[in-house]
Amino acid sequence: MLNPGERRALRARAHALKPVVLLGQHGLTEPVFAAIEEALCVHELIKIKLRGIERDAREALVVDIATRVGADVINVIGHMLTLYRPRPTETPAAAPARKPARKPACPRTPKAVRAAAQFERELRRAPRAGRTSRSTSSRRGPQ
């Protein structure tokens, strides 16, 4: 059971969500329950659109859905139902090992960007090996 503060925070999070499951003319079937169950496992907080169902039947349907999937009803506005069920916590042994994050190919911080630009400028200015200075006498060749 959620307290009012948690429910308010979840309502705010759900505001931008689009419905994940659409309940239509065939009503509440096993594939619909499977879709709701899968969506709750993946997303934790979902919206369900209940179309074509009368108000009295809709209230009973909301209670039936929530009890069957073991979720809390966050909000019901019109034909939109918001459900929340926290994900089961994974044990550390069962959690898949994550790959270490790759380092970016280029520097991201402003200081590193400035240092890289300075290094590039110095490389362009430095004389290359095997070249002589650019005086006019070296261009003319032997006289």
* Mean of pLDDT over the chain: 81
The pTM assigned to this predicted structure is 0.60
For residues 37 and 14, is the Cβ–Cβ distance under 8 A? no
Tell how many helices (H) and how many strands (E) occur in the chain.
5, 4
Flag whether pLDDT at 139 surpasses 70.
no
Question: 58-106 pLDDT, tens per residue?
Answer: 899 999 999 999 999 999 999 999 999 998 776 555 656 666 666 556 5
Measured distance CA(96)–CA(48) in Å, rounded: 30
Segment (H or E) for 119: helix 110-125
Helix axes 55-69, 30-43, angle to 10 degrees: 60
* 37: Cβ contacts below 8 Å, ≥ 6 apart: 69
**Which residue is listed with tokens 């790959």?**
99
Q: What is the pLDDT of residue 84?
A: 95
Longest dimension (CA), the chain: 108
Q: Please name each of the domains of the chain with its CATH number.
A: 4-84 (3.30.110.60)
